[in-house]
Structures are given as C-alpha cells and as structure tokens.
Amino acid sequence: MQHGSTAGRLRASRLSRGLTVTATAALVVTALPAGVAAATGGTTWVVHPGESIQAAVDEARSGDTIRIEAGTYDEAVCVVGKGLTIVGAGRGEDGTRIRWPEWTTPADLPAVDPNPCWEAQNGADPESDPDTLADDVSGLFFLDPDGPVRVRNLSTQDHPANGIAAWGADGFRVTKTRAHGHERFGILAADSTHTRISRNIVQGTDRGTPDAPNSGTAGIGVTDSDASYADVVANDVQGHNIGVFARESRSGAIRNNYVSGNCVGILLFDDALTEIPDDSRQVEGGDWQLRWNEVTGNDRFCLAGVGEVEASLRVSGTGIGIVNADSVSVRHNDVHDNAPSVDPASLQFPAGGLVLVTLPPFNNAPGIDPGPAEDVVVEENALTGNVPVDVLLSSPQLSPFLGEVGAVEFADNTCAASFPPGICTP
C-alpha cells in the first residue's frame, strides 16, 4: 500500500528540488571571488564602501552588472571594450557617489596613471606628456564598449573631464543620476548611437576667474555621430556653459527637459568636422526635434570656445540656439526670460529666446562650409520675456560675422519682439 496523496508527493518533490537548487547556488556563490553573486544573464559584482569600483570593472565581462553600495568612492573609472550595467544605491546624499578629490584649478590635480580612456580623451602620448592625463579623468568612462551600457541611480562629482561618458557605444542609457561640478560634460555620448539620457540632474560649478568664467562645456552632450538616434528626455540641467549640446550629430529628440541658468540653454551646432575620436569625418548635424522643454533664465556669462578656438565667443542669455543645422522642428516649448547678464551689444553670439544662426566656414582646416541653418519648423511655442528679442534670424545686417538663414516655417507661436521685425506678427 502506497502512503500519501499525489499532491503531497508533488509538494515533497518540489521542496526537494528547491533545496537542491538553493544548495547548488550557495556553492557557486561561495566559489566566486569576494563581492560576487551569480545573476541571470551575467555576473553581479557587489562593491562595498572602501572597495574599488575599478577592480570590479577589471574583473567583469560584457553583460555583467556592477552594483555599488551606498557610500563615497574617490575614483575615476575607465571601462575599455565592455558593455556593463552599473547601478548605485541612489543619487542622493545617502546614495552612491563617485567623486574626484577636491581641487580648484588644473594645477592642483593629483597625478594619474595612464590608461586608454584618459589617453583617448586628450590624444597625448603619456610618456612625453604625462601631466595632461590628470585633466582628462572622468567618473565613469566607457571606451568602445562591445555591448550595451547602462548606468543608473548614482552621482558623480568634480571630475576634471566628464561625469559619465561613452565613446563608440551602441545602446548607451543613463538614468536617474546626478552630475555635479565636472569641467567638461556631466553626461556625454560621443560617436555613439541609440542613446537615451533620461531623468538626470546635472549641475555646473564655476571654476574660472571673473574674466573667463567656466562651468563645464555642457551638462549633457550628444556629439560626433551621424546616426545618434538619441533621446534626451526629462532632465534638469543648470549652471553650465551650455545646458544640452547636440554637436555634429544627426537624428535625435530633446524633450521635456528643464534647462536654466546656463549661458546657452539648448544648442544644436553643425561646424562640419567631428572631434571624437578624430577629425577625419564630416557629419551634417541636424534632424533633431525639440519638444515640450522649459528653457528659462539662461543668463550666465561665459567665454565659449568652439573646437580648438578657446574663449573666442562672449556668450550669455540664449535660450535655444540652432547653428548651421538643418531639418529641425521646434514645437511646444516654453522659452521665457532668457536675458544676458552683460550688454547684449558686447556679445559675439546672439542672445534671445530662439536664435537661428548661419556661420560661414571657420575653425576647420579644409574650409568645409556646413551650410545654413535651414528647413526649420517653429510651431506652437511660447517665446516670452526674452532679451533683446524672442526670436532672431541671423544675417549680415546683424553682423558681418553671420550669414543668412535658410527656409524657416514659423506658425502659431506666442512671442513679441524679433529680428528681423515682423516674425512674431500673426
């Protein structure tokens, strides 16, 4: 006679299998190096306070996850050729913070050991020019990853180059991070495609002198990509030279962001030649959508450089700037109260709520003409309270340094003053 019901035997069998799986998993975890746990689809490496993020990165393989527990980590992390997921315990004060030691000027920077990331950023030979490497460290730098990159729930602070950067990535996602006080970009996607930068807080800090203030190149940058397919959405970007910067990149959306307190709020820029990883390519910047952004109070003053031209342009009070880019739509944005903090007549880049600018060939040895800003649709925006005008289209009448803007469709916007006059008239 067989004892026990079928249901009871099934429960016993499931329990036995569960205990076996649990025991096996425990043996696997025990066999792994300290701080590592098995995970579906890859290995999860846990970094505790006092441990090295870089050490975990060096051990990890593409597809792995690095989970960084709450605490402050004084590091600059280089990830070469690996697609990793890096997750912190939050971006707040009690979360995960990747920080560079406190410094005030480049001369104060501590020395760093050469690695491919820092060498790539400055293009220098570390043996002949080792001091330059210290200027190029970033919080998390992904160089030519061979798989998707994911970063979320952490903060970066005070790195001389960037907070979180990827070069040559296909599938770069940065979500719910905080970047503060970086000298170049808070978040940068360069020569990358299928990028999404969402729900981040990016804050600049002045480190320059009153004569040449500098608060970082840009809060968020999408650069040097002929197929960026970027989505920059729902970020808070304040206190930089440029808030959101799309330079030499094609195809993307900048939407639902709050951009304030920068010299220029949002800038689309096409100057014909790429910079990353080199200047061998020409990308026709354009094909961007700007939608539902609030761009306000961008009143910082800075001396901005373009490419190798350092501190060449006096800039302040520009909400949205479109320079030489084509096929751009600007819809449903609230662009208000952007005013320069210096005399507008002293500026080399036009101030105003929305400025469309054509620049002649400059700053590229081949003399490539990037063409005019053209095929731009400006529709259903609120452009109010901007100084000196709500809308400006460049022309030689305004300055001999500027060219004529091409075709612009302007409809159903709320605005007042413009150059040339009459743009805002229904």
* Mean pLDDT score, 299-309: 69
Coil, strand, or helix at residue 124?
coil
CB 400 within 8 A of CB 358: no
Segment 44-67 shows an average pLDDT of 97
Note the pLDDT of residue 31.
Answer: 28
pLDDT exceeding 70 applies to what percent of the chain?
83
Tokens of 198: 């969402």
- Each residue of 57-104: pLDDT tens digit? 999 999 999 999 999 999 999 999 999 999 999 999 999 999 998 777
**Phi, psi angles (nearest 5°) of residue 134:** -65, -25
- How does pLDDT run across 172-199, given as a tens digit for each residue? 999 999 999 999 999 999 999 999 999 9
CA distance 143 to 166: 6
With beta carbons less than 8 A apart as the criterion, state whether 157 and 100 touch.
Answer: yes
Question: 3-state SS of 211-269?
Answer: CECCCCCEEEEEEEECCCCEEEECCEEECCCEEEEEEEEEEEEEECCEEECCCEEEEEE
Which residues have CB under 8 Å from 43's CB, separation 6+?
32, 36, 37, 60, 61, 64, 65
Q: Which residues are 374's β-sheet partners? A: 326
Q: Omega of the bond prior to 213 within 30 degrees of 0, cis?
A: no
Over 80: is that where the pLDDT of 20 sits? no
Whether 11 shows a pLDDT value over 50: the answer reads no
The more confidently predicted of residues 359 and 93 is: 93
Burial of 417 (0-12, 13-18, 19+ CB in 10 A): middle
pTM of the model: 0.88
Supply the mean pLDDT for the chain: 85
Nearby residues of 407 by Cβ (< 8 Å), 6 or more positions away? 374, 375, 376
First vs last C-alpha separation in the chain: 94
Is residue 259 a contact partner of residue 266, using CB atoms and an 8 Å limit?
yes
Q: With bands split at pLDDT 50, 70 and 90, how would you rate the model's confidence at 27? A: very low
90 with 68: CB under 8 angstroms?
Answer: no
Q: Give bridge partners of residue 343 from the DSSP assignment.
A: none
Helix, strand and coil content of the chain, in percent to the nearest 5, comes to 10, 40, 45
> 186: exposed, middle or buried (C-beta count within 10 Å: 0-12, 13-18, 19+)?
buried
The span from the CA of 129 to the CA of 58, in Å, is 25
Instruction: Please say whether the beta carbons of 326 and 368 come within 8 A.
Output: no
Beta pairing, strands 309-316 & 301-306: antiparallel
Between the alpha carbon of residue 105 and those of residues 134, 161, 177, 185, 207, the distances in Å are 11, 13, 25, 17, 7
- Distant-in-sequence, close-in-space partners of 190: CB < 8 Å, separation ≥ 6: 165, 166, 167, 168, 221, 223, 224, 225, 276
With beta carbons less than 8 A apart as the criterion, state whether 387 and 355 touch.
no
